[in-house]
Structure 1
């Protein structure tokens, strides 16, 4: 089984961030968004430099239980491990568009936003969620932030309360026909002829981790920045082999520090975390 520490180790040792060129062949990437997602898959699967497509597919099959659908989270699920959401920005600090899916501290089997196939791809109830946020140019990856949902987003109830209140309020409008929907609401037959429908969708956004955690890391002039924030309790539960080989790395620009971050549910409290960086 793979994990975020293995992915960090692979990125540190690979050091090629020209991701468009890496994934331009065999129609594996239709744009920088696809290239970034392929890069994240290879980081976690340990398949950087693997050119044989069949070998890569077999390794993905061993490591991952889910590789996503375009309109439903998550993008990647590790077998027996974490879920991963990949987000691309072309501005280093622009907000992340989450569309109809509010920010999540973790991924739950009961979520109406995930597909039946995702729910059944392995035996699981709750998975910790990693947000992988890549800032790209037209050709290369300039920075990659990897943060866990429980260090970034508030508990589900915080967002669900807003969603439920809006949906309930919409249903108080008199003399309209409502339909069941996973969105905030759907009103059918708005006009006298009954030929116009209204879909009401949430468009969630969350601030870029670069802004949220600006008290931990300031941007540099380096060609590439990897910044990872892992709750200490989570870090300590990873296999010893994964922790040891990362802690023994002697690469220039690589560091692991003990830090504290604001609790997303109560900023008066602090959470212990590991801040892992690669600046090259």
Structure 2
């Protein structure tokens, strides 16, 4: 092989490797366009908001993006917001973890046992119909005005979303597949790890992602009702003092919480459910 042919082959291999790694110029351009398409509506909204504030709507009602940005900078620079972030962060994490854990366990148990499902499903359905926000005063009586009442409210709101998704996932497993696996000599442990959990995994991840904003709602409602610290209290106090920039600053921080949590959940989902792509079910759109 001549030196020129060897160089040409090496360049070709390098180009193929670059394309597979996602570094091709066409792929980069497509990703840039996707990001631009996602950002444009938000940018347009901010521009319209900035223009309309003080012209079409009084600034005291809606503030404006530049004022909100200045308020955010002030909050973080002074350190005023950090105690609120710490309390709300603890409540969100604890409420979410407890709610997801309980929902997965209960959903799997009732999904695997038709007898348990017949006994407990009517009670679960009845309790699910109760507006969870109405439980906030009761939780304050039980757990006080500290983080316990907010964790309880967030856990309840997360629990039902995860429970019903896991329950549906386990119940959706093909009975013939279960019988075939048992005929092949699988025990209950193998049946759980090789049949039921893979089948329920997409439902679990869906429930976990849907539960993220509901955990935030539970925590903030609890903080609105009664709290000593937290973003909900901060937003409530800003509203009471006619500080729309402070209200929107708190909302922006909450949006940051939800966005970050969704990104983490999406990354976990793509990693855990990679087998769906390999089996031809298509990739998970996160």
TM-score by length of 1: 0.27
**Rg larger for:** 2
Which of the two has greater strand per residue? Answer: 1
Q: Name the structure where helix makes up a greater proportion of residues.
A: 2
